[in-house]
Structure 1
């Protein structure tokens, strides 16, 4: 995704882009109101939650891709530790509700999926796609909404890969797998304790490795012109603030939708509806014959929770980029970088479908649901990122060390 060095940030003074800010905000509110009136108040509220997610993701630069890349290359673990805070807050909020089965008198369920070959392979190729495509699922959405034309290309091929995975999805399901298992089944208390212990171990390992290489931990650098109250309007926001905010917004999603935040199922749906326009019937594929998927395919996108939230994320990120004065799309994309978008996007889409989710649906929401498949996803996706980092120099001109964290 778009990267800025500290020098770039100090030289590129943000210009307030009021018309775009008001336009994106107005479109989000009007769309949410229309969805509320035509579908349900809950659906409209979920679009606004998506808008808030886009704002937080952009202003906190909360990315998974570069956080993992920075750690792999330079052993800087600030981004990974922020992810552990994100997960810790989420499990503390989620586990009691999932154990009870209700939240505010409404039924709720987590994202708990089988652990098998499809998860391992899908997470691994998704990890490669993260580094080639330049982002994860949430990162692709918020940077595309923030005006990064390169990430729009990644998003398009993310959709292509998602559709391709639905064609032979039944074959992946036929491969050996263990039954879905959740730590919540042990009880909320024990499940939380085990999860927090694992997060603490991962954070401690990042601290040890970072101090071993650098002698001390990295401190967040905030440009002088972005300090004070202006920081909360234009960003950047503290990374830990972003982690807590995303966990709270995921919990809001659980309370409204009855299930956690997800992203990539909508990409498969968008692609399926597009292929319908050219005369192909995706309903013949087993993936779209499953009850929930068949219903989504036959309804408008406004009835799909994930789709309305994704649209909200894009609009929220657009407003955030305008507030920061950074909504300046450019089509000057090197050919090799463009090729990386195509390959990376396809790997992201295909991998997410066969792994039962992405960095949000499988990793964040999966672990927040206590699903063991979320932990397996993390291990194999990280391995894929290590391969992707080694492939990046062929596609990108980049320094030996990443300049900044973020997506």
Structure 2
């Protein structure tokens, strides 16, 4: 048994580790790969026609994100679950590497304003009650729904049928969060936006402090592991030689560095760091608007930038085109590796968990100014204190989520499990 649910492999992110299990990869699924290639090119052409060169570049970056996420099987849900459930910290140490590389890249980009025709801005949000509640709900939803924001996209692209229900719940929750956004951010007490780089530390001191904390956390996971003696992690079979880069699984550290570099590239091209869930809010709000709901009157959509986004086409929204790219990038990677499989039968309790978890994550992400990508990854890399607050509350939510799983009939990993 692994830290994935025994009911179905489609309920959560694949296991992650730095060590590969030797084996023979299945042949590429040429028909599926061809379909994916045609879809990727067609959407790229449409994106360029509607949104211009910048949207086309962001779409290409999204494709790269999907490839990296899938090949590295880079998990956020699984990393926190592994640590909390059995004390396995390898995947979380990969997070620390990713954050360290991203922060080292973000510091010069933000301090020098190195943008491609735009001035880059870090992901800095208020330290508030909405972040506390939203991040907790997100952590809870991750473990119940079996995925996170990035994991939802690349698992959908990889053919994980159950995660489609998580995505639907995500969109519903994001719309509900947008509806209540003004209450959480304006009515309730909220602190200021605090960036370590805007203190006397400056970017150099902020980077040094961030790297020190990341190092301490990584060291702490080793202490936990020595005490709990967690099970070893398993890994999908890897192709040999050069085929590994195209078809096999990648070491976790490669995924960490790749995601950090792509996030920095996103910051340069887009002017903002990588995010995911604002697209879910947009898609769901457009559907609600088409059904006659006056979403434009909601506080979330009242700001000039958000109002323009709601009024504009989806393919002119950078986060949306990147999300589409992630799905198709993972689709291509899965087909090239011969592992794209649609699971036709999904247990009812898994569907229930996926929808509930998705709603909790969507709602939590919206009121917490982001998800595991926009708040945790981008926030910490931008030296924002709200990113650290988000991380702490998401870990607490993870613990609650593991306690909640049996309530809907889902298994909870045990220390005796053979892998994570």
CA contact (8 A) 2:70 2:333 kept: yes
What's the CA shift string for 1:249-297, capped at 9, x where partnerless? 0011011101100000010100000112211121121111111111111
CA distance in structure 2 between the partners assigned to 1:388 and 1:244 by the alignment: 29
Of the structure 1 ranges 241-250 and 180-189, higher mean CA displacement relative to structure 2 is found in 180-189
Of the structure 1 ranges 14-23 and 201-210, higher mean CA displacement relative to structure 2 is found in 14-23
Going from structure 1 to structure 2, the CA distance change for 1:170 and 1:219 (only over 3 Å counts) comes to closer
Partner of 1:192: 207
Q: Following TM superposition, by how much is the alpha carbon of 1:25 offset from its aligned partner in structure 2, in angstroms?
A: 2.6
CA distance in structure 2 between the partners assigned to 1:11 and 1:220 by the alignment: 13
Please report the TM-score for the alignment, with normalisation by the length of structure 2. Answer: 0.91
Partner of 1:234: 247
Going from structure 1 to structure 2, the CA distance change for 1:108 and 1:160 (only over 3 Å counts) comes to same
Unaligned runs of 5+ in 1: none
Going from structure 1 to structure 2, the CA distance change for 1:294 and 1:403 (only over 3 Å counts) comes to farther
Partner of 2:401: 388
2:40 aligned with 1:24, yes or no? no
Q: How does 1:264-343 map to 2 (within 5 A)?
A: 264-343=277-356
CA distance in structure 1 between the partners assigned to 2:154 and 2:93 by the alignment: 21
Going from structure 1 to structure 2, the CA distance change for 1:390 and 1:54 (only over 3 Å counts) comes to same
Q: Following TM superposition, by how much is the alpha carbon of 1:20 offset from its aligned partner in structure 2, in angstroms?
A: 1.5
Partner of 1:209: 224
What's the CA shift string for 1:151-192, capped at 9, x where partnerless? 000000100000011112111012112110112213121011
2:412 aligned with 1:366, yes or no? no
Say what the alpha-carbon RMSD is for the aligned residues.
2.1
2:256 aligned with 1:251, yes or no? no
CA distance in structure 1 between the partners assigned to 2:24 and 2:350 by the alignment: 23
The DSSP-based 3-state class of the residue aligned with 2:222 is: helix
The DSSP-based 3-state class of the residue aligned with 1:107 is: coil
Q: Following TM superposition, by how much is the alpha carbon of 1:331 offset from its aligned partner in structure 2, in angstroms?
A: 2.7
CA contact (8 A) 1:254 1:261 kept: yes
The DSSP-based 3-state class of the residue aligned with 1:110 is: coil
Please report the TM-score for the alignment, with normalisation by the length of structure 1. Answer: 0.93
What is the aligned counterpart of 1:43 among 44, 55, 63?
55
CA distance in structure 2 between the partners assigned to 1:24 and 1:329 by the alignment: 15
Of the structure 1 ranges 60-69 and 9-18, higher mean CA displacement relative to structure 2 is found in 9-18
Q: Following TM superposition, by how much is the alpha carbon of 1:101 offset from its aligned partner in structure 2, in angstroms?
A: 2.9
Partner of 2:160: 148
Q: Which runs of 4+ in 1 moved over 6 A?
A: 3-6, 9-12
Q: Following TM superposition, by how much is the alpha carbon of 1:233 offset from its aligned partner in structure 2, in angstroms?
A: 1.7
What's the CA shift string for 1:28-65, capped at 9, x where partnerless? 22322222233211110100100110111011000100
Of the structure 1 ranges 25-34 and 305-314, higher mean CA displacement relative to structure 2 is found in 25-34
Partner of 1:93: 105
Partner of 1:115: 127
2:400 aligned with 1:353, yes or no? no
CA contact (8 A) 1:98 1:184 kept: no
CA distance in structure 2 between the partners assigned to 1:370 and 1:226 by the alignment: 38
Q: Following TM superposition, by how much is the alpha carbon of 1:111 offset from its aligned partner in structure 2, in angstroms?
A: 0.8
The DSSP-based 3-state class of the residue aligned with 1:350 is: helix
Of the structure 1 ranges 280-289 and 228-237, higher mean CA displacement relative to structure 2 is found in 228-237
The DSSP-based 3-state class of the residue aligned with 2:338 is: coil
CA contact (8 A) 2:15 2:235 kept: no
The DSSP-based 3-state class of the residue aligned with 2:393 is: helix
Of the structure 1 ranges 191-200 and 206-215, higher mean CA displacement relative to structure 2 is found in 206-215
Q: Following TM superposition, by how much is the alpha carbon of 1:98 offset from its aligned partner in structure 2, in angstroms?
A: 1.1
CA distance in structure 1 between the partners assigned to 2:382 and 2:406 by the alignment: 36
Of the structure 1 ranges 33-42 and 230-239, higher mean CA displacement relative to structure 2 is found in 33-42
Q: Following TM superposition, by how much is the alpha carbon of 1:107 offset from its aligned partner in structure 2, in angstroms?
A: 0.9
The DSSP-based 3-state class of the residue aligned with 2:193 is: coil
Unaligned runs of 5+ in 2: 1-10
CA distance in structure 2 between the partners assigned to 1:32 and 1:48 by the alignment: 8
CA contact (8 A) 1:57 1:317 kept: yes
CA distance in structure 2 between the partners assigned to 1:262 and 1:323 by the alignment: 26
CA contact (8 A) 2:182 2:299 kept: yes
Q: How does 1:137-176 map to 2 (within 5 A)?
A: 137-173=149-185, 174-176=187-189
Q: Following TM superposition, by how much is the alpha carbon of 1:226 offset from its aligned partner in structure 2, in angstroms?
A: 2.8
What's the CA shift string for 1:97-156, capped at 9, x where partnerless? 212233356411011000010000000010000001101100011001110110000000
The DSSP-based 3-state class of the residue aligned with 2:103 is: helix
